[in-house]
Amino acid sequence: TPTTVGKFVQEGFWRQPDTAALLIEHKSFTELLESLGCKVDVAPPVDGLVDAVYMHDPMIMTPHGAILLRMAKPVRSPEPAEFRKDLEGLGVPILGQLTDPAFADGGDKVWLDAKTLLIGHGYRTNQAGIDQVRALLAPHGVDVFSFDLPHYEGPSAVLHLMSVLSPIAHDKAVVYEPLAPVRLLQFLESRNISWFSVSEKEMLTQGSNILTIRPNVVVLAAGNPVIEAQLRAAGVEVHLFNGDNVAVKGDGGPTCLTAPLLRVSNHG
């Protein structure tokens, strides 16, 4: 649940949201996920932690337990400890926790499959963070591939790997090409993953931050008609949510608002 108490602009670098609308949009988003068959556990708000609604970032969920992270953005540094309480309350096992000097955000990671994790190296995730995540996952046979992210708007802005890449199915994704690392695009090609290219206009309204519920069933922030039409034309089932305050004004999309804990295959 988003807090309505905190320095959204000064510390969070948000555009000032309508705090009443924050709660309404978050509730409707939760109801949409439940209507799509998701079991949703809603963590309580923490006053002052304006970014904590973006629960994707304080940890990396793996098939072997959660990895709690250390966050480079100062206002977010208390979040992993708060998240630990939520996870322990749900009985989620903890695989490990990053330690100084490591930093990492969950938004910088993308799972391609159970044995392949992609990580963006940028202002929110450093080399020590990548190394520690790799060390925690190596005993489980997970390959971790890192890709350098561009400067873009600098350290105070947010540019995650998931700002430029959203997997839609095992063989397709949405990509914002101008900020995508060349090696990342080459890697996707090597895995026979094709992609839809999102425009700058729609990238800025979270059109490249798409939550995949299951292959070819996605949640997209409303107001991105071009990428929406491309996905629908390719047979993707698209569900829209209005997140002008809870998503766009905080530079977080539907993926950022969730921390998937368990995915269960419908096949076998």
Q: For the whole model, what pTM was predicted?
A: 0.95
Contact (Cβ atoms closer than 8 angstroms) between residue 191 and residue 185 = no
Write down the CATH superfamily of domain 19-250.
L-arginine/glycine Amidinotransferase; Chain A (3.75.10.10)
pLDDT of residue 12: 63
Residue 194 one-letter amino acid: S
What digits encode the pLDDT tens for the residues 66-121?
Answer: 999 999 999 899 999 999 999 999 999 999 999 999 999 999 999 999 999 999 99
> Three-class SS string for the chain?
CCCCCCCCCCCCCCCCCCHHHHHHHHHHHHHHHHHCCCCCCCCCCCCCCCCCCCCCCCEEEECCEEEECCCCCHHHCCHHHHHHHHHHHHCCCEEEECCCCCCCCHHHEEEEECCEEEEEECCCCCHHHHHHHHHHHHHHCCEEEEEECCCCCCCCCCCCHHHHEEEEECCEEEECHHHCCHHHHHHHHHCCCEEEECCHHHHCCCCCCCEEEECCEEEEECCCHHHHHHHHHCCCEEEEECCCCCCHHHCCCCCCCCCCCCCCCCCC
- Confidence band (pLDDT; 50, 70, 90) for 7? confident
Structure tokens at 33: 């996920």
What digits encode the pLDDT tens for the residues 195-241?
Answer: 999 999 999 999 999 999 999 999 999 999 999 999 999 999 999 99
What digits encode the pLDDT tens for the residues 116-144?
Answer: 999 999 999 999 999 999 999 999 999 99
pLDDT of residue 250: 87
What digits encode the pLDDT tens for the residues 33-73?
Answer: 999 999 999 999 998 898 999 999 999 999 999 999 999 99
| Average predicted confidence (pLDDT) for the chain | 95
Structure tokens at 111: 């799972």
Q: What are the structural domain ranges in the chain?
A: 19-250
pLDDT of residue 231: 99
